[in-house]
Chains A and B, each alone.
Chain A
Amino acid sequence: MPSNMTLGERLRKQGVSRRGFLKFCAATASMMALPPTAVSALAAGLEKARRPSVIWLSFQECTGCAEAITRSEAPTLENLIFDYISLDYQHTIMAASGDAAEAAREKAMHENEGKYIVIVDGAIPLKDDGIYSTIAGMTNLQILKDTVKHAAAVISLGTCAAYGGIPKASPNPTGAAAVSEIIKDKPIINVPGCPPIPVVITGVIAQYLAFGKLPELDALGRPKAFYGQNIHDRCYRRPFYERGLFAETFDDEGAKAGWCLWKLGCKGPITYNACAVTKWNYGTSFPIQAGHGCIGCSEPDFWDKGGFYEPLSAGTFSAGGRLAAAAAVGVAVGVGSAVLARNSQKALHHKEGA
Chain B
Amino acid sequence: MSSLDAIGVRVEGPDLKALARRNAEPILHEIRHALARLLESGEETVIDLRGLPLSDFDQDFLVGELGVGELECRLDALGKSVIQETAYHGVWLVTHFNAGEQIIGRFVEVTFVPAILKSDPIDIRSDLDRLTERLAAGLEEGSAGEVDSQ
Contact = CB atoms under 8 A, between A and B. Distances in A.
Whether A and B touch directly in their complex, counting CB atoms under 8 A apart, is answered as yes
Interface of A: 14-20, 22-24, 26-27, 29-31, 33, 35-37, 39, 73-77, 233-236, 238-240, 256-258, 276-278, 282-283, 289, 291
A15 B148 contact: yes
Contact of A238 (B48, B53, B123): B53
Contact of B150 (A20, A39, A257, A282): A20
Nearest to B54: A236
Interface string B70-94: 0000010110010000000000001
Contact of B10 (A23, A76, A238, A257): A257
Contact of A18 (B51, B123, B149): B123
A16 B22 contact: no
For the residues of B in contact with A, the DSSP-based class is mixed
A198 to B, nearest CB: 13
Contacts of A257: 10, 13, 15-16
Contacts of A30: 48, 50-51, 104-105, 107
Given A256-B8, A277-B51, A277-B53, A23 B150 contact: no
B46 interface: yes
A110 to B, nearest CB: 35
B102 A74 contact: yes
Nearest to B120: A18
B11 interface: yes
Interface of B: 8-11, 13, 15-16, 19, 22-23, 46-48, 50-51, 53-55, 58, 75, 77-78, 81, 94, 96, 98-100, 102-105, 107, 115-116, 120, 122-123, 147-150
Contact of B50 (A37, A73, A277, A282): A277
Contact of A289 (B55, B115, B116): B55
Nearest to A18: B120
Most chain B CB neighbours (cut-off 10 Å) among A36, A75, A240? A36
A74 B50 contact: no
Contacts of A291: 9
A76 B51 contact: no
Contacts of A29: 48
Most chain A CB neighbours (cut-off 10 Å) among B102, B103, B105? B105
A225 B46 CA distance: 18
8 contacts: A16-B78, A22-B115, A36-B47, A76-B104, A233-B53, A236-B58, A256-B8, A283-B102
B89 to A, nearest CB: 20
Contacts of A240: 19
B82 to A, nearest CB: 11
Contact of B105 (A16, A26, A235, A258): A26
Contact of B96 (A26, A75, A277, A278): A26
B100 A23 contact: no
Given A16-B150, A17-B149, A283 B103 contact: yes
B149 to A, nearest CB: 7
A103 B85 CA distance: 56
B47 to A, nearest CB: 7
A23 B75 contact: yes
Contacts of B19: 239-240
A19 B75 contact: yes
Most chain A CB neighbours (cut-off 10 Å) among B102, B104, B122? B104
A74 B99 contact: yes
Given A16-B78, A19-B77, A74 B98 contact: yes
Contacts of A256: 8-10
A19 B148 CA distance: 11
A52 B1 CA distance: 45
A280 to B, nearest CB: 12
A39 B96 CA distance: 15
A19 B10 CA distance: 41
B118 to A, nearest CB: 9
B96 A23 contact: yes
Contacts of A73: 100
A1 to B, nearest CB: 16
Q: Which 3 interchain pairs have the tightest Cβ spacing? A: A74-B100, A20-B77, A36-B46
A273 to B, nearest CB: 13
